[in-house]
Each structure stands twice: as C-alpha cells, then as structure tokens.
Copies of this chain bind each other. A is one copy, B any other.
C-alpha cells in the first residue's frame, strides 16, 4: 500500500482524492498496489468540501506521520510550499506537486535535495497533458530543436473568441472573468507569467537550462487590437500566446509573447481553453500534444499519474530529465539577439512623406518589409500594418523608438512577433 497526504484540498486536491476513490480498482491494477489518501491538510476545517478523506489544519500532521509515503503539495504560492516540500524530502517522503511557480524558481535546488527520492510535477505544465512525461521520457533520444506551447487556457480562450467572433479585448476579458476562466486580477494569465513558469520547466527538461522568470522575455496579450486580428485573418495567420524555447547553436531562446502563426500549423488549430504543445526533435520531427490545461479533474489526472508512477517504480526518470550535466555548455540567448519576422502596427497621419519617413527609419535599422497593408481609420488617420523579413530584436526595438519620436506616428507603435 502507498500512503498519500494531500496538502491543500481545494479543487485539484479534492479531485485527486476523489479520483483515487472513484477509479480505485483500475488504479490498483495498474499500480500493483493500493493507493490511499490517509490525510488532507486544509486551512479552514469548517469549510464544506466534497471529499471523504480525513482532514487536519496542521501540516505537521502529514510531515511527521512516518506512515505517509507521498506528500502531494497543492497549496500554491512559493516560499511556504518550498519550505514544506523541503521538509518532506528531508523526511524521505516522495513529493508530487502541481506548483509551477515553485518550480520556476526552485527546481534545481529541489532536484539537488531530492536526490534519489521521487519528485514529480506532471500537473505543473499544461494540466492534464502528459507533456513532462513525453519530453523527459518519450522524446529523450532527440536534441530538441524547438518547443512552441499554448500553455494558458485563459489567453487561448480570449484570443480564439477575438479571432472567431470579433469580440474586443476588454469585452472578452470580462466574459472570461464571468466564466471563471480569468481571475479578477488577470495579470498573471494575460501578462504571460503563468505561461513563462511552465516554459522554464520545459526548458530545463529539454536543455538543462537554469533560468528564472525575470531572465526571459515575457509579454502578454493586453495590446492585441481589432486591427491586429483583422490583419491576421486577412493574411491567414492565427494569433496565439506562445511559450517558445529554441536552440540556436549553443544558445537557448526562451520567450513568452503573442505571435502571428500561419493558421494551417497544427498548433494554430488549438482553440478555446485547450492547451497544445508542439515539440520538434532533431530525429522525431514535429510532435504535438493536446488537451485540457486546467480544471480540477484534468490537473488531478496528472497528479494521480505521478502517484501511480511512484507506486510502480519509486524514483523513475531524473527529475529534470538529466542524470548528468548535458555535454555542451548552453546559455540563454539575450533578448536583444532574437531573430524572427515581425508585424508592426503604426497609426499614421494620412499625408504625403509619411511612408518615405517610415521606410527610411526601418531601412536604416536593417529592417526590410515583406508585406504591407494600409487601412483608413475613422479619425482621418490610418493604420499602416506591415510585416518584416527576418530581423533582429534590438533593431526592431530601436526602430520602434525612432518611429515613436519621428513625428509621423500618432500613437505608440505596436508589434507582434511572427512564428513560421
């Protein structure tokens, strides 16, 4: 028998307990032993919960119970769960967590501390999709060329509605909040931070790279306008918030931002609240993994899979995918050096000389234009929408600053990177 203590019995924690109860027969058959939740920790014992496990409000009741083999951490936050999982590991207990923020900051110290004790976190990235499993085990023969992940269902729902139904950003944000897809303070989701936490975890497994959220480029979807959506549709792009990891020589790009992506790409077809992660390996080519990225049962499905794995084989694969240091020295690519195509939206006065001035600024910064579209606006000005050939991020940023100060641009220029 494998004994489990759950710290944090909210939506996901209750689902974990209930799956282990509802699917007990098949789980026991698969795991080879019974898995029993012996204790759950909650902060408020008086709140009604849809579980039939024994509850306590004292975390030490789990940590000090020598009969508990696995601690499932589902409380959220960073410092407190970090303290708790460290205590659990020091007591020799296996740990399963869905806590992406904890891992975004402390994954390497935790791997070090865990050593031969199982520490699993399938639910931390893309909820029910077994992407950790796929990347760490299924694709382990490959150098990973790139990862493109739709890993935030809130943003994907909002962007899908904006594209399919022409709803604008503020309207759809309110709808997402009403539906419970977005928090009252939506910044963590729409600002790209949630996706960034997940991306860093995948980056570690693909490349063994140890960076923190503040080291990487993170942009949210807040500035996507109707004009951008219309341009995307006209040029057969979809707009997605992607977490992107790419290997270029010995450098790794890690970035989260909205992208224009050709609508016939498999990842561009992942709509609504669903998540999808495309992984390109040097041998396997492109693979894609699709499913529910959030929700109590889907997330708990991943947590319980980790518990079953621990019941079956104890410590399985190395926590972050590498038993030893990767052979080559890899470093994070500077944001300045990212190279891709760009889309720019420039609100311009509709008068002669404007285009020449813009073209000159772009040309002086080694940026060449691939496609262009000018659309009149109601106020007498116009939106100049253009895409560039492959350019360097620092050149684009410099050109955007120059454009903003040139006198021919009426509002701050907007930019979306293009992935092809």
Q: Is A143 an interface residue (CB 8 A)?
A: yes
Indicate with 1 or 0, residue by residue over A261-291, a CB within 8 angstroms of chain B CB atoms. 0000010011000000000011111111111
Contacts of A133 in B (CB 8 A): 130, 133-134, 137-138
Max count, chain B CB within 10 A of own CB: residue among A32, A302, A305: A305
Scan residues 134-168 of chain A and give those whose CB is less than 8 A from a CB of chain B: 134, 137-143
- In Å, the complex CA distance between A30 and B208 comes to 10
Select A284's contact among B26, B28, B291, beta carbons within 8 Å.
B291
- In Å, the complex CA distance between A270 and B326 comes to 34
Q: Is A31 an interface residue (CB 8 A)?
A: yes
Contacts of A303 in B (CB 8 A): 141
Q: Which B-chain residue is minimally distant from A290 (CB atoms)?
A: B288
Q: Which residues of A line the B interface, CB within 8 A?
A: 15, 19, 23, 25-33, 122, 128-130, 133-134, 137-143, 208, 266, 269-270, 281-292, 295, 297-298, 300-305, 308-309, 312-313, 315-318, 321-328
- In Å, the complex CA distance between A284 and B297 comes to 6
On whether the beta carbons of B28 and A327 are closer than 8 Å, the reply is yes
On whether the beta carbons of B326 and A25 are closer than 8 Å, the reply is yes
Given A23-B143, A143-B26, decide whether A137 and B285 contact each other with a Cβ distance below 8 A: no
Q: Which B-chain residue is minimally distant from A133 (CB atoms)?
A: B138
Contacts of A284 in B (CB 8 A): 128, 291-292, 297-298, 301-302
- In Å, the complex CA distance between A28 and B297 comes to 36
Interface of A is mostly: mixed
Given A134-B134, A285-B292, decide whether A140 and B305 contact each other with a Cβ distance below 8 A: yes
Q: Which B-chain residue is minimally distant from A25 (CB atoms)?
A: B327
- In Å, the complex CA distance between A270 and B265 comes to 10
Contacts of A321 in B (CB 8 A): 30
Contacts of A302 in B (CB 8 A): 138, 141, 284
- In Å, the complex CA distance between A289 and B279 comes to 11
On whether the beta carbons of B138 and A122 are closer than 8 Å, the reply is yes
Contacts of A141 in B (CB 8 A): 19, 23, 27, 300-305, 308
Cβ of A9 to closest chain B Cβ, rounded Å: 17
On whether the beta carbons of B305 and A137 are closer than 8 Å, the reply is yes
On whether the beta carbons of B298 and A208 are closer than 8 Å, the reply is no
Select A138's contact among B31, B286, B305, beta carbons within 8 Å.
B305
Contacts of A270 in B (CB 8 A): 266
On whether the beta carbons of A290 and B287 are closer than 8 Å, the reply is yes
On whether the beta carbons of B318 and A312 are closer than 8 Å, the reply is yes
